[in-house]
Amino acid sequence: VDGGFTFYHVPSRNFPSLENQNALNFLMQWSMKGRLHCQCYSFDETFKTYDFQKFATAFFNSDVVRGTLETDEGLPSEECEVEAIHVPCSLLSMDIFNRCVGVVTHPTGRIKSCFEEYHNSVLINDCLKRVLVQFV
């Protein structure tokens, strides 16, 4: 697939916002420490939002990306069809999570526990999971 983009892996890129002690504490608290991995790629063309399908297809079919992207499941061995969808978003900050304080979390940010129950074989044992299940 010739998407018009050339991608470059940037393995030396650090992510300070995920490496500071405050972030590490939150990742630990939310059971995500060691589970969240970030990688950086650069590309050589101007990104046009109306062309995001072409960009996504070029990205996931790039030899550089396919050879360096770390995934648990890996990528298909051959070029693959990529479906990119636009997700409408009107929230431009993380303020929505402030609503969780008191309902889902303690004022310290610790997630509240609840009585264990199962929903479609998924164990629900904290208030965050309980709220998320209600939206599914």
Collect the ranges in the chain with pLDDT lower than 50.
1
pLDDT of residue 136: 64
Are residues 126 and 78 located together in one domain of the fold? no
Are residues 1 and 20 located together in one domain of the fold? yes
DSSP character at residue 110: P
pLDDT of residue 28: 82
pLDDT of residue 40: 95
Are residues 72 and 97 located together in one domain of the fold? no
Q: What pTM was estimated for this model as a whole? A: 0.60
Sign of the torsion angle spanned by Cα atoms 117, 122, 128, 131:
negative
Pairing mode, strands 122-126 and 113-119: antiparallel
pLDDT of residue 64: 92
Pairing mode, strands 7-9 and 41-43: antiparallel
pLDDT of residue 99: 74
